[in-house]
Amino acid sequence: MSFRTPHPSHPLILDDIRGAQKMLSGVARMTPLEGSRHLSQLVGAPVHLKCENLQRTGSFKLRGAYVRIAGLRPEERAAGVVAASAGNHAQGVALASSLLGVRSTVFMPVGAPLPKVAATREYGADVRLHGHVVDETLAAAQEYARATGAVFIHPFDHHDIIAGQGTVGLEILEQCPEVRTILVGVGGGGLVAGIATAVKALRPDVKVIGVQAQAAAAYPPSLRAGRPVAVDTAPTMADGIKVGRPGDVPFAIVDELVDDVRTVSEDALSSALLLCLERAKMVVEPAGASPVAALLSAPETFQGPVVAVLSGGNVDPLVLQRILRHGMAAAGRYLSLRLRLTDRPGALATMLGVLSVVDANVLDVGHVRTDPRLGLTEVEVELHLETKGPEHCEEVRAALRDAGYVVME
């Protein structure tokens, strides 16, 4: 459903975004637009992926950061800039500052993934680890700004930031002039606000739809209330769009111009990331895969041609490993089972023979012999299997039950 309500004024205009595009010439690359045959078949219309995961620093964030810092007065540049981020914004600010010859300090949470911390340092920022949650990190950065006079670079709540992100919308219209629907992941709202401003000014018939993780969806209640509303967020793999309150500046634009904001589950996010990796050969972080998750969740509800913005590809390899396993389970291609065997020689081999007949690939086997719930002659076996889909999972369960095993999950 749509939550749009009229707004009396518009805080950003197309000329701002066109000016940002000129400023970014030779700095941000025009990322490719790749067709997806699999998603096109699901939707019943052409689907294209806007690959901002291939942007410099691995996300769209460079665009807004560069425009914001480039617009500072000389005395502001001399004071340096400061930002707080767990990843993409940190890297965008670091590289933009280096390109512009501005000193940057970036506060990151203590538990930030090491590859993101290392990349931010390599782009030239003075990285300071502070706090265990982003709110603590943000407070430290703002205190640093007050104490030193450094300019705080907000990740989404500033006109220049949104103008820079809006250049993605201009590129989409140039690369796919026949587009009818654009899907964009939404955290604070800077990217979708910029894209909507550019697209609606030139093609008001194109639908712009935001996508949030169900566990961190502040926009739907805010749009219903007509003002930014803070919500309690739950853990989500899509940490790049985990924002508890919309920004004031992007909210006004989203409320006026964005046609709908949808939410997607964790299962849909992991399945989308797996699809991007396998079918599109794209390494995408969960937040960046959120538009694909929306397509997988309700493909029949989108009018094509569709462009889904893959907003970032900075995912920690260890996190990626866990998410892929989750995605395989959600797709019915990874199955975990527990069952009890008689603790005697050959019992495990017999059970594995049943799995061999139904062509289930055993990835891991664990034994428990000391649980008080077990009988003296029993052993509990935990199995991790690679399967071929939901129907194959049911076939595996049925084969084990038919062989006399009690299957637990």
What is the per-residue pLDDT across 283-329, written as a single tens digit (0 to 9) for each? Answer: 999 999 999 999 999 999 999 999 999 999 998 787 777 777 777 77
Residue 208 near residue 257 (C-beta atoms within 8 A): yes
The residue assigned the tokens 């205190």 is 143
Percent of the chain with pLDDT over 70: 94
Is-catalytic flag, 61?
yes
Active-site hit among 50, 61, 116, 200: 61
Catalytic residue among 36, 290, 297, 311: 311
69: helix, strand or coil: helix
pLDDT value at position 3? Answer: 36
The rounded percent of the chain whose pLDDT value lies above 90 is 63
> To which H or E segment does residue 348 belong?
helix 347-357
In whole angstroms, how far apart are CA 258 and each of 30, 195, 205, 251? Answer: 23, 9, 12, 10
DSSP structural state of residue 369? -
406 C-beta neighbours (distance < 10 Å), count: 10
**pLDDT above 50: residue 396:** yes
Annotation says 200 is catalytic? no
Instruction: Let me know: does 166 contact 198? Beta carbons within 8 Å.
Output: yes
